[in-house]
Amino acid sequence: MADQNTAKDRVLIFDTTLRDGEQCPGATMTLGEKLEVAELLDTMGVDIIEAGFPIASIGDFEAVSKIASLVKNATVAGLSRAAHKDIDRAAEAVRHAARPRIHTFLSTSPVHMKFKLQLEPEAVLEHVISSVTRARNHVDDVEWSAEDGTRTEFDFLCRCVEAAIKAGATTINIPDTVGYTTPEEYRDLFVKVRENVPNSDKAVFSVHCHNDLGMAVANSLAGVAGGARQIECTINGIGERAGNAALEEIVMAIRTRNDAFPYETGIVTEMLTKASKAVAHATSFPVQYNKAIVGRNAFAHESGIHQDGMLKHTQTYEIMTPESVGVSKTSLVLGKHSGRAALKNKLEEMGYELSDNQFQDVFVRFKALTDRKKTIYDEDLEALVDEKLAEA
Ligand code: KIV
Ligand code: ZN
């Protein structure tokens, strides 16, 4: 039974890079790449790895089975729709996991029930019960998701959640499938569902947010404030359409603003950059330069004012250390906005000792160069200094 009120609550990190992440157009990974990512996620301390959707293809089934055998610490989940053949296939795929989970889902919103499922609410409710019961016949750890949960009519959502718990679901996920909710709304939804559903304390509640309005991370953390204790997310935020909540952002928000988010995760944050690079490489999806936490510019400073501040004290412009996410050091990028302090620091790092006059001259030439050239490499600086020294 899940206790959602223990001291410094542990929030479970459920990574779905290999399932929801892989579902985004163009992000397909080979079996080898999936195994590599799964091993990394396991070592990094992810609690649950959603390895794939076994009924989707033979390749997906094989990947989930291999990951289930490979992973040592994390729970390995396989996704399934509510159909019994899906559930049985997922059960077979996770069979060799040390900690197997079946994650079964069904849409509950009016628009999905009417147009996608073409089922009446009562029929949906029956499917919830029969799918969770079927999954529980295979494994003890069953997650049930109310797809499009945030656009579901509240009383019906509560009835479905109650039925899923009664049928044996140990985790209840209320996804924001289309990235529609807001932080306040999502937090309140968890508070109210947990208040209204009998025996809600028998299940761990989970958030699963998409980023259509750019609020996936904020919504996820709000859901946790409302009592959820599992966060579903992906490395680099990859996923359907605008993506899922980014694991690295959630974990570092909890670590950096633990006053506001007083929880703990089991993630070794120093591995975040490595995981980001591995997923970017496997999916061929580049990470945007200004991406929070893992983007190339996340710990880079170009403006003279910022570089000067950073040289005086790193907390002037950084709220977390680069080392805490596995980046060796802050980079003071030399460009047209850089000032004397950064150039001096860089030249000293490169081993140059210049008199004040020499430095002043090199600085003027450096500024002129930055107007002509976007990227200033060490070789450019060497040429400037050598030119100056040759004049002496
Ligand atoms: O976004 C969603 O609703 C999903 C479910 C399958 C959990 O990915
Ligand atoms: Zn999703």
Residue nearest to atom 1 of ligand 1 (CA): 177
Query: For the range 260-263, what are the long-range contacts, defined as Cβ-Cβ under 8 Å and sequence gap of 24 or more?
Result: 261/221, 261/224, 261/225, 262/8, 262/9, 263/8, 263/9, 263/10, 263/11, 263/224
Q: Among all ligands shown, which has an atom nearest to the Cα of 240?
A: 2
Flag whether pLDDT at 1 surpasses 70: no
Residue 254 CA, ligand 2 centroid: distance in Å: 22
Model confidence over 247-288: pLDDT tens digits? 999 999 999 999 999 999 999 999 999 999 999 999 999 999
Residue 25 CA, ligand 2 centroid: distance in Å: 14
Model confidence over 123-155: pLDDT tens digits? 999 999 999 999 999 999 999 999 999 999 999
Residue nearest to atom 2 of ligand 1 (CA): 177
- Confidence band of 25 (pLDDT split at 50, 70, 90): confident
Residue nearest to atom 5 of ligand 1 (CA): 147
Residue 175 CA, ligand 1 centroid: distance in Å: 6
User: Cα(105)–Cα(357) distance, rounded to whole angstroms?
Assistant: 71
Q: Is the ipTM of this complex over 0.90?
A: yes
User: Cα(102)–Cα(138) distance, rounded to whole angstroms?
Assistant: 8
User: Cα(173)–Cα(107) distance, rounded to whole angstroms?
Assistant: 12
- For the ranges 77-91, 224-238, 369-383, which has the lowest average pLDDT? 369-383
- Confidence band of 3 (pLDDT split at 50, 70, 90): very low
Report whether residue 61 contacts ligand 1, using a CB cutoff of 6 Å.
no
What is the percent of the chain with per-residue pLDDT over 90, rounded to a whole number? 96
Report whether residue 105 contacts ligand 1, using a CB cutoff of 6 Å.
yes
User: Cα(49)–Cα(69) distance, rounded to whole angstroms?
Assistant: 13
Q: Among all ligands shown, which has an atom nearest to the Cα of 143?
A: 1
Flag whether pLDDT at 172 surpasses 90: yes
Q: Please report the sign of the dihedral spanned by the C-alpha atoms of residue 230, residue 157, residue 101, residue 137.
A: positive
Report whether residue 176 contacts ligand 1, using a CB cutoff of 6 Å.
no
Token pair for 117: 């499922």
Residue nearest to atom 8 of ligand 1 (CA): 20
Q: If we measure between CA atoms, which residue out of 230, 232, 281, 225 comes closest to residue 257? A: 225
Report whether residue 145 contacts ligand 1, using a CB cutoff of 6 Å.
yes
- Confidence band of 375 (pLDDT split at 50, 70, 90): confident
- Confidence band of 327 (pLDDT split at 50, 70, 90): very high
Flag whether pLDDT at 14 surpasses 90: yes
What is the percent of the chain with per-residue pLDDT over 70, rounded to a whole number? 98
**Exposed (0-12), middle (13-18) or buried (19+): which is 104, by Cβ within 10 Å?**
buried
pLDDT of residue 69: 98
Report whether residue 208 contacts ligand 1, using a CB cutoff of 6 Å.
yes
Residue 16 CA, ligand 2 centroid: distance in Å: 8
Global confidence as pTM: 0.95
Flag whether pLDDT at 5 surpasses 50: no
- Of 56 and 6, more confident: 56
Pocket test for ligand 1, best of 81, 87, 145, 209 (most atoms within 8 A of CB): 145
What average pLDDT does the segment 23-27 reach?
89
Residue 391 has a CB neighbour count (10 Å cut-off) of: 8
Q: Among all ligands shown, which has an atom nearest to the Cα of 174?
A: 1
pLDDT of residue 19: 98
Residue 177 CA, ligand 1 centroid: distance in Å: 6
Please identify, by atom number, the ligand 1 atom nearest to the C-alpha of residue 232. Answer: 7
Model confidence over 174-187: pLDDT tens digits? 999 999 999 999 99
Report whether residue 147 contacts ligand 1, using a CB cutoff of 6 Å.
yes
Model confidence over 57-70: pLDDT tens digits? 999 999 999 999 99
103 appears as a binding residue in the annotation:
no
User: Cα(369)–Cα(319) distance, rounded to whole angstroms?
Assistant: 32
Report whether residue 232 contacts ligand 1, using a CB cutoff of 6 Å.
no
- Confidence band of 2 (pLDDT split at 50, 70, 90): very low
210 appears as a binding residue in the annotation:
yes
pLDDT of residue 99: 98
Residue 90 CA, ligand 1 centroid: distance in Å: 16
What average pLDDT does the segment 302-314 reach?
96
Token pair for 184: 């306040």
Flag whether pLDDT at 4 surpasses 70: no
Residue 277 CA, ligand 1 centroid: distance in Å: 25
Please identify, by atom number, the ligand 1 atom nearest to the C-alpha of residue 147. Answer: 3
